[in-house]
Amino acid sequence: MGSLHAQKFASLREVRIVSVCDVDSARADALASGIGTRAAREFGAADAAVVAVSTEQHFAVARECLERGLNVLIEKPLCSTLDQARELVALAKAKKRILQVGHVERYNNTFQALSKRMGRPLFIEAERLSGFKRRGADVDVVLDLMIHDVDLVLALCPHPIAAVRASGFRILTSDIDIANARIEFADGCVANLSASRVSQAQVRKLRIFQKDLYVSADLQAGKLRYVRRADGALQSSEETQDKGDALAVQAASFVSAIAGHQQPEVSGEDGLRAMEVAFDVGRLVRERLQAI
């Protein structure tokens, strides 16, 4: 992910890559050479940093960046513990620096299109399935995959959460590999989320119901289907969104936030709230597994 981030930022005219840092010097040298910069063990003189290390290292690296006065874009999940996440959010606020969290699905063209059509969702169903990959396996499937949809749901329904129920199982690892969560909001909206990292096919789908409108979204294929009631009958329409480059849009958003000294679309507070829900889901799954 660090290599991908570096490539996206290197393509922005208003950005100069000061250096790339990696404990693997050969990998850092190869990346630096490819984007016309240098590899370094230290951060150097910079305005901002992208933190794309393993999750357990997020806090230490991001904290040092913020303490040095850098703006920070950090991969999701924000940290490996809630206390760490809260400390980073507070530190960014105290230093008056941007802390943006890499919930890249927010910049997916398909999600952007459907969110503009949403008024008051009543029921949201999210399905995110993937084959097993080593990257991300340092955390459970809730923090690895489901947290994407937790963030999207919280963006669509920003009301307080009234209740959370969850179940899940360990399949290939010693942690949660399959999970399902039901989130009930104070305004009556209900979200049902399913995530698996041990599936054959890759699926990223959202289904949203509100009064007089049903939207089905394939976030991977960029397809949207709208069904609404009009003149006493059901009418449906379909559209396909350009796949775009969500990671590049996220990079541009980070730069824009720094230049304008405004909160990015996915702030540290947003990342913290998604973590709080994800940790709640993980806790409930583990409690259930202990009981069976």
- CATH number for the domain spanning 134: value is 3.30.360.10
Is the pLDDT at 134 greater than 70, yes or no? no
What is the tens place of the pLDDT at every residue in 85-96?
999 999 999 999
| Matching residue, tokens 């991300």 | 136
Average pLDDT over residues 215-239: 91
In a domain, 272, yes or no: no
Paired sense of beta strands 99-102 and 71-75, if any: parallel
Nearest alpha carbon to residue 3 among 86, 26, 14, 219 = 26
Same domain flag for 282 and 137: yes
Cα(91)–Cα(255) distance, integer angstroms? 20
Token pair recorded at residue 97: 């620096």
Same domain flag for 125 and 66: no
Number of compact structural domains in the chain: 2
What is the tens place of the pLDDT at every residue in 1-52?
999 999 999 999 999 999 999 988 899 999 999 999 999 877 778 999 999 9
In a domain, 238, yes or no: yes
Same domain flag for 50 and 116: no
When pLDDT is cut at 50, 70 and 90, the band that residue 135 belongs to is: low
- CATH number for the domain spanning 61: value is 3.40.50.720
Same domain flag for 131 and 257: no
Same domain flag for 96 and 134: no
In a domain, 271, yes or no: no
Residue 48, C-beta contacts closer than 8 angstroms, at least 6 positions apart: 70, 71, 72, 73, 98, 254, 255, 258
What pLDDT shows up at residue 137?
65
Q: What's the DSSP call for residue 144? A: I
Is the pLDDT at 139 greater than 90, yes or no? no
- Residue 227 lies in domain: 105-244+277-291
What pLDDT shows up at residue 261?
63
Same domain flag for 113 and 240: yes
Is the pLDDT at 136 greater than 60, yes or no? no
Same domain flag for 121 and 73: no
Cα(280)–Cα(283) distance, integer angstroms? 5
| CB distance 180 to 191 below 8 Å | no
In a domain, 235, yes or no: yes
| Residue 177: C-alpha distances to residues 28, 143, 196, 210, 266 (Å) | 32, 10, 6, 31, 26
Same domain flag for 206 and 97: no
What is the tens place of the pLDDT at every residue in 162-173?
999 999 999 988
Same domain flag for 205 and 93: no
Same domain flag for 237 and 252: no
